[in-house]
Amino acid sequence: MRPAEDRFHEECGVCAVVGHPDAANLVYLGLYALQHRGQESAGIATWDGHRVHSHRAMGYVADIFDRKTLDRLPGEVAIGHVRYSTAGDSALTNAQPLVVNTQHGPLAVAHNGNLVNALSLRHALEGEGAIFQSTSDTEVILHLAARFRADSVEEALLAALAAVKGAYSLVVLARERVLAARDPLGFRPLLLGRLGEAWVVASESCAFDLLGAELVREVAPGEVLRLDRAGVRQIRPAASPPYAHCVFEHVYFARPDSRVFGEDVGIVRQRLGERLALEQPADADVVVGVPDSGIPAALGYSRFSGLPFVLGLVRNHYVGRTFIEPKQSIRHFGVKVKLNPVRALVSGKRVVLVDDSIVRGTTSRKIVTMLKQAGAREVHLRISSPPTIGPCFYGIDTPERRELIASSATVEVIRQFVGADSLGYLSEAGMLACLETPAENFCTACFSGRYPLLETESETLAKTQR
């Protein structure tokens, strides 16, 4: 059981390269750029013209892959994955890419998303004799593709995807080619790029920047592409809107230097901060953003309000997953191991503290306390998204509903709990107004309680009541 933490966790990231002699090395770099989407495990699978090679392990990309490991992953076709589990346990058996041998040949798959009908499909497959090696919902896709009698891998994958419901942006390695697929509602981003004669697919455009690849376009919602040395061919057309793009990709998850859902993330976050200043002004002296995700919105808040932005909080970027907590006798270190106030910039000041969200409220409480202990006269907490009232079932690891403070507490109760002098959230309408894409094409379930894919999925509906 993962310890409770007061943040949303990134989901997963995928990357694929086709038609380059150093495919594994390029995927490694792509995963490095996507590390923010998952820090639990990582893996790469390649095709050398004869067989699939793969390596996956728990930990960070840079710790898993060294020169010798990458040299053992030859071939011009490669896919990779970084993972933070949203379906399935935190274990090596669930690390991806998952690799299997089927009647269609060897397949490897890397998946970002979450299937809302995975449990019922798994039970049905097990009833027919299927043996699962992991607890990941991704394995359901592989079993379905392996069991369908089809003339090609493409037909088998299309049949498998027709049976699943939920969020998936995935890449499948099938010998000399890669199949890239996105669910019809387009919950998670997936982009197509080009590097010379090679083709690249990744969860975010920041991976292309590191590789020196050109962003070509998004893989459209519902679209399935085949990528090989001959080029890119569409094997399933795009779905028609409305879609259900995850608005939290823009609020928090995607890197600010990425372009997802047709918009630059950093620009959107500054707009969120500007709109927040319009809706939730504060009588204050300075604006401070919570590093790193709150910084762009804080800059927008500062620009619109005219209040100066100061780096009043500094983040320690070298706190890794192996950090050893001190003994209980060393008390109150709390969030200070990651954040520290700059006393000279906040002492005696009325501070607007900007963050992207409040989950349980405990981290916000610690940061507010930290600023006041550093001499801040007042702390006015401003959140660049609406109150989070429900969990996500489409690829984000969120707490259960009862653990989300806004699901049962008013804004005033939350303000008192975190110790802020005032608290203001961005409205849902205000958030959506900051996006160029029409509002009906975004999923806002965690803010609104309106779930796009729950009407017929009783197993998922049950989860929303927890």
- Contacts (Cβ under 8 Å, ≥6 apart) of 128: 147
Catalytic residues, by residue number, are: 12
What is the Cα–Cα distance from 265 to 245, expressed in whole angstroms?
Answer: 13
Please enumerate, by residue number, every residue annotated as part of a binding site.
246, 293, 355-356, 392, 443, 446
Q: Are 186 and 247 in contact (CB under 8 A)?
A: no
Please enumerate, by residue number, every residue annotated as part of a binding site for [4Fe-4S] cluster.
246, 392, 443, 446
DSSP-derived letter for residue 397 is B
SS3 label, residue 461: helix
- Contacts (Cβ under 8 Å, ≥6 apart) of 104: 145, 146, 150, 152, 153, 156, 174
Q: What is the separation, in whole angstroms, between the first and last Cα of the chain?
A: 16
DSSP codes, 400-413: -GGG-GGGT--HHH
Q: Are 189 and 195 in contact (CB under 8 A)?
A: no
- What are the backbone angles phi and psi of residue 104, rounded to the nearest 5°? -95, 5
Residue ranges of alpha helices (H) inside 148-255 are 153-163, 206-211, 248
Chain centroid to CA 42: 14
Q: Are 96 and 81 in contact (CB under 8 A)?
A: yes
Q: Are 77 and 20 in contact (CB under 8 A)?
A: no
Task: Note the residue count of the chain.
Answer: 466
Please enumerate, by residue number, every residue annotated as part of a binding site for Mg(2+).
293, 355-356
* Helical (H) or strand (E) element with 54: strand 52-58
* Amino acid letter for position 277: A
Q: Are 258 and 206 in contact (CB under 8 A)?
A: yes
